Amino acid sequence: MPDQTLEKYKNETYFDFSDPTNDKAQKDALEEVRSNFGKEYDLYINGQFVKGDAGTFESKNPSDLSETIGTFQMASKEQAFDALDKAWDAFETWQHVSAKKRAEYLFKAADVVRRRRLEINAWMISEAGKSYLEADADTCEAIDFIDYYAHEALRIDDGMDVLSETWGDYNRTIYMPIGAGVSISPWNFPFAIFVGMAIAPIAVGNTVVAKPAPDTPKMGQLFAEILDEVGLPAGVFNFVTGGDIEVGENLAKHPNTRFITFTGSKGVGLHLNKIASEVAEGQKFLKRMVCELGGKNATVVDEDADLESAATEIVKGAFGFQGQKCSASSRVIAHQAIYDELLEKVVEKTKALSVGNAKDNHISGAVINQKAVDKIMSYIEIGKKEGKLMAGGKRADTEDEGYYIEPTVFADIDENDRIAQEEIFGPVTAFIKAKDTDDALRIANGVDYALTGAYFSNDPKKIDRALREYRVGNLYINRKCTGALVGAQPFGGFKLSGTDAKAGGRDYLKYFLEPKSTTLRPADGVDYDLEKFEFANK
Ligand SMILES: NC(=O)c1ccc[n+]([C@@H]2O[C@H](COP(=O)([O-])OP(=O)(O)OC[C@H]3O[C@@H](n4cnc5c(N)ncnc54)[C@H](O)[C@@H]3O)[C@@H](O)[C@H]2O)c1
Ligand SMILES: N[C@@H](CCC=O)C(=O)O
């Protein structure tokens, strides 16, 4: 194996599916995966694939409800707790495994994902309803997370802190892993986020019980297979499917859960944050909580912007993966001077989007489940009362029976309207008129969330102002507000969008480490190996 520590981390490049060779390769992989629909999959606890004690459930294809992706296990609370115990057992040795050895496991896992990329895409197209490109971007992001965190773990191990020397004493900070914890992930980036949240703590010596979202268990199961293949020691990674409360909440409450990494809705996140802050009986530490929640992101278009480009990027940002991204542009705040022209362009481009089954690579596919359909359709009804419907507004008429909704644009929405304030998490965007730049930035900042934002202008002074005053975790100038790249655009938001832990950034792994300040005063006449002291955490 090449010494990857010497290579610079690079983002994985997406396939170009307009190339017929790539399109055919993805279609072939889909055919193969579809011939494997309907199988049963197990939990993965302590290196063993095992059945659940609380029954099974099915994962359906949202693009065609007659198709079952597979049958998955419902773990009991006792099994979930057993997985946590096994994770603690594994921690005893994993915490002392060298960073280099840990990184080797990760680099191997990234290589297996690379090898199985089209297959993983195919499962995701089928289980989550992503288009080819959206699925490929998700799989590439997972590879990036694994690779990036492995490199980061090596960097941390090399020593990070610059400390002052104090009168002959030697001072060093040692970063220690914190223990066994729980990772609870959403369905919308069913591979990337599941993988990233599980592998980050592991990279720096912790162990994990990972619970996928009930709509996309196959994507988590694939990663269990991959980590089993690369021989990750038993118990370091455990995969437990099951009920939100039975598995998820009970694990979050467990007195031995050292950390909770959660990505999902604001409601569940705030609930878990409260649980994490309570010290359960027998608990011997404060739980670490990483909480990445929703957004109500805006694209602000100023009067001097390139409107054609802004319209193209708005449509991508609002309707990519049916708007089911925490980063989606669900508001467009347009300067009054260009409002009508921009609206017309966005409406035209929205109406041109093809809606249909993800296996046929439609740009706009199905949303995830019936609950999502009900929620989105109820917001569309609210939007019809609050503003003017310009495109979409109803269930899409498609060949297959799935959860299809037309990409929808509303105009003349007031900044305080419900569809301008609440996360819809579907293919709906709302136009709001601003008087000027001041007004636009004020409206953009006037929500409870602060996740992503885009600003379009060609005026350097205005851009500079947006960079300073537009308060979001990820701000993009003259491009869409979705699609952050690991290592390049560390991702996360503040206010009620979360703890801004910045997944895919240099700060992230510290959430799973305990820094220990150490000072060595060399005794007279004793020859210390100061280099060893410096690298005591190797
Ligand atoms: N900020 C980010 O990085 C980010 C990324 C992706 C998605 N999201 C957000 O996620 C949401 C969509 O995902 P979702 O529908 O899966 O969210 P969700 O909150 O319904 O579920 C997320 C996870 O929590 C589990 N869960 C639900 N109730 C639980 C409970 N009481 N205790 C423990 N676990 C519980 C679910 O099974 C799932 O695994 C959106 O709000 C979106 O904005 C945020
Ligand atoms: N990181 C993704 C969003 C994740 C949430 O859904 C993006 O940048 O678009």
User: What does the pLDDT look like over 276-326, one tens digit per residue?
Assistant: 999 999 999 999 999 999 999 999 999 999 999 999 999 999 999 999 999
Q: Is residue 530 very low, low, confident or very high in pLDDT (cuts 50, 70, 90)?
A: low
Strand partners, 182: 209, 260
Q: Which among 191, 326, 476, 508 is the best mutation to test ligand 2's pocket, defined by most ligand atoms within 8 Å of the CB? A: 326
Cα 344–Cα 346–Cα 347 angle in degrees, nearest 5: 65
What angle do helix axes 339-351 and 307-319 make, rounded to 10 degrees?
50
Q: What average pLDDT does the chain have?
A: 95
Q: Whose C-alpha lies nearest to ligand 1, atom 6? A: 326
Within 8 A by CB and 6+ apart from 274, the residues are: none
- With 60 as the cut, is the pLDDT of residue 2 above it? no
Active-site positions read 292, 326
Q: Is 281 buried (19+), middle (13-18) or exposed (0-12) by CB count in 10 A? A: exposed
Tokens 């162990």 belong to residue:
207
pLDDT tens by residue, 18-42: 999 999 999 999 999 999 999 999 9
Question: If you measure from the C-alpha of residue 364 to the centroid of ligand 1, how many angstroms do you get, rounded to a whole number?
Answer: 22
Q: Whose C-alpha lies nearest to ligand 1, atom 16? A: 186
Q: Which ligand is nearest to the CA of 422?
A: 1
Q: Is 398 buried (19+), middle (13-18) or exposed (0-12) by CB count in 10 A? A: middle
The reply to whether the predicted model has a pTM over 0.90 is yes
**Cα–Cα distance list, 513 to 56, 170, 203, 206 (Å):** 36, 22, 11, 9
- With 70 as the cut, is the pLDDT of residue 1 above it? no
Q: Which ligand is nearest to the CA of 371?
A: 1
Question: If you measure from the C-alpha of residue 184 to the centroid of ligand 1, how many angstroms do you get, rounded to a whole number?
Answer: 8
Question: If you measure from the C-alpha of residue 265 to the centroid of ligand 1, how many angstroms do you get, rounded to a whole number?
Answer: 4
- With 50 as the cut, is the pLDDT of residue 153 above it? yes
As a dihedral over the C-alpha atoms of residue 485, residue 408, residue 302, residue 462, rounded to 10 degrees, the angle is -30
Q: Which ligand is nearest to the CA of 134?
A: 2
Quote the pLDDT of residue 536.
42
Q: Token pair for residue 395?
A: 């269930």
Q: What share of the chain is helix, strand, coil (3-state, %, to 5)?
A: 40, 20, 40
pLDDT tens by residue, 69-82: 999 999 999 999 99
pLDDT tens by residue, 38-63: 999 999 999 999 999 999 999 999 99
Pick from 235, 425, 397, 410: nearest CA to 320: 425
Instruction: Judge if the beta carbon of residue 290 lies within 6 A of ligand 2.
Output: no
Pick from 129, 255, 257, 256: nearest CA to 184: 257
Quote the pLDDT of residue 169.
83
pLDDT tens by residue, 190-217: 999 999 999 999 999 999 999 999 999 9
**Cα–Cα distance list, 120 to 117, 123, 199 (Å):** 5, 5, 17
Instruction: Judge if the beta carbon of residue 484 lies within 6 A of ligand 2.
Output: yes
Tokens 């952050």 belong to residue:
484
CB 365 within 8 A of CB 136: no
Quote the pLDDT of residue 522.
78
**Cα distance between residue 60 and residue 46, in whole Å:** 28
**Cα distance between residue 185 and residue 286, in whole Å:** 22
Quote the pLDDT of residue 533.
58
Q: How many residues does the chain have?
A: 538
Tokens 């980050």 belong to residue:
200
Q: Which ligand is nearest to the CA of 486?
A: 2
- With 70 as the cut, is the pLDDT of residue 5 above it? no
Strand partners, 207: 180
Quote the pLDDT of residue 534.
52
CB under 6 Å to ligand 1: residues?
A: 184-189, 193, 211, 213-214, 244-245, 248-249, 252, 263-265, 268, 271-272, 292-295, 326, 423, 425, 451, 497-498
Strand partners, 454: 299, 476
Instruction: Judge if the beta carbon of residue 145 lies within 6 A of ligand 2.
Output: no
CB 247 within 8 A of CB 240: yes
Instruction: Judge if the beta carbon of residue 187 lies within 6 A of ligand 2.
Output: no
Q: Which ligand is nearest to the CA of 474?
A: 2
What is the residue-wise DSSP string for 443-483? HHH-SSEESEEEEE-S-HHHHHHHHHH---SEEEESS-S--
pLDDT tens by residue, 481-497: 999 999 999 999 999 99
Question: If you measure from the C-alpha of residue 218 to the centroid of ligand 2, how many angstroms do you get, rounded to a whole number?
Answer: 20
**Cα–Cα distance list, 13 to 80, 347, 359, 473, 479 (Å):** 37, 31, 22, 24, 19
Question: If you measure from the C-alpha of residue 484 to the centroid of ligand 2, how many angstroms do you get, rounded to a whole number?
Answer: 6
Q: Whose C-alpha lies nearest to ligand 1, atom 28? A: 244
Q: What are phi and psi of 37, to 5 degrees?
A: -60, 150
Q: Which atom of ligand 1 is nearest to the CA of 184?
A: 39
- With 50 as the cut, is the pLDDT of residue 343 above it? yes
Q: Whose C-alpha lies nearest to ligand 2, atom 5? A: 326
Question: If you measure from the C-alpha of residue 247 to the centroid of ligand 2, how many angstroms do you get, rounded to a whole number?
Answer: 25
Question: If you measure from the C-alpha of residue 471 to the centroid of ligand 1, how many angstroms do you get, rounded to a whole number?
Answer: 23
Output DSSP code: residue 321. G
Q: Which atom of ligand 1 is nearest to the CA of 215?
A: 16
**Cα distance between residue 424 and residue 350, in whole Å:** 18
Q: Which ligand is nearest to the CA of 213?
A: 1
Instruction: Judge if the beta carbon of residue 327 lies within 6 A of ligand 2.
Output: yes
Within 8 A by CB and 6+ apart from 511, the residues are: 200, 259, 261, 288, 290, 501
Q: Which atom of ligand 2 is nearest to the CA of 193?
A: 4
**Cα distance between residue 415 and residue 430, in whole Å:** 10
Pick from 312, 327, 358: nearest CA to 127: 358
Output DSSP code: residue 507. T
Output DSSP code: residue 510. G
Q: Which among 265, 422, 424 is the best mutation to test ligand 1's pocket, defined by most ligand atoms within 8 Å of the CB? A: 265
Strand partners, 50: 43
Q: Whose C-alpha lies nearest to ligand 1, atom 9? A: 264
Q: Is residue 166 very low, low, confident or very high in pLDDT (cuts 50, 70, 90)?
A: confident
Q: Whose C-alpha lies nearest to ligand 2, atom 1? A: 484
What DSSP element (H or E) covers 342? helix 339-351
Question: If you measure from the C-alpha of residue 243 to the centroid of ligand 1, how many angstroms do you get, rounded to a whole number?
Answer: 13
**Cα distance between residue 383 and residue 419, in whole Å:** 6
Q: Which among 325, 368, 424, 497 is the best mutation to test ligand 2's pocket, defined by most ligand atoms within 8 Å of the CB? A: 325
Q: Token pair for residue 29?
A: 């992989």
**Cα distance between residue 487 and residue 153, in whole Å:** 13
Instruction: Judge if the beta carbon of residue 437 lies within 6 A of ligand 2.
Output: no
- With 70 as the cut, is the pLDDT of residue 7 above it? no
Within 8 A by CB and 6+ apart from 381, the residues are: none
Instruction: Judge if the beta carbon of residue 482 lies within 6 A of ligand 2.
Output: yes
**Cα distance between residue 380 and residue 374, in whole Å:** 10
Question: If you measure from the C-alpha of residue 482 to the centroid of ligand 2, how many angstroms do you get, rounded to a whole number?
Answer: 6
